[in-house]
Amino acid sequence: MRATDTIARLGGDEFGVLLEGCTLEQATRIADNARQAIRDFRFVWGTSTLSVGASIGIVQIRADTENVANIMSAADIACYAAKDAGRNRIHVYEADGVSDRHREMHWVARVTRAAENNRLELFFQPIVSLRNLDGRGFHELTVRLRDDDGELVPPSQFIPIAEESGMIQALGARVLRDACRQVVQWHREGVMMRLSVNLSVQQLQHDSCLTIVEEALRASGLAPQYLDLEITESVLMAETTIEAIDALRAE
pLDDT tens track for 104-162: 667 777 777 777 778 888 888 888 777 765 545 678 888 888 877 788 888 887 887 77
Residue 7 CA to residue 31 CA, distance in Å, equals 12
| Structure confidence at residue 172 as a pLDDT band (50, 70, 90) | confident
Q: In DSSP terms, which residues pair with 145 in a beta bridge?
A: 120, 153
Residue 134 CA to residue 185 CA, distance in Å, equals 19
Find the helix packing angle between 209-220 and 168-188, rounded to 10°: 30
Same fold, 6-98 and 117-250: no
pTM over the 0.75 mark: no
Q: Which residues make Cβ contacts (< 8 Å) with residue 30, sequence separation at least 6?
A: 1, 2, 5, 17, 19, 22
Burial class (CB in 10 A: 0-12, 13-18, 19+), 158: buried
pLDDT at 220 over 80: yes
Could you give the 3-state DSSP secondary structure of residue 92? Answer: strand
Residue 8 CA to residue 37 CA, distance in Å, equals 17
> Residue 211 has what pLDDT?
86
pLDDT at 238 over 60: no
Residue 177 CA to residue 85 CA, distance in Å, equals 36
H or E element that contains 103: helix 100-116
H or E element that contains 79: helix 68-84
What's the CATH architecture for 117-250? Alpha-Beta Barrel (3.20)
Residue 212 CA to residue 220 CA, distance in Å, equals 12
Contact predicate 1/30, CB 8 Å: yes
Burial class (CB in 10 A: 0-12, 13-18, 19+), 87: exposed
Among 3.10.129.10, 3.30.2030.30, 3.30.70.270, 3.50.50.60, name the CATH number for the domain at 6-98: 3.30.70.270
Domain-by-domain residue ranges, the chain? 6-98, 117-250
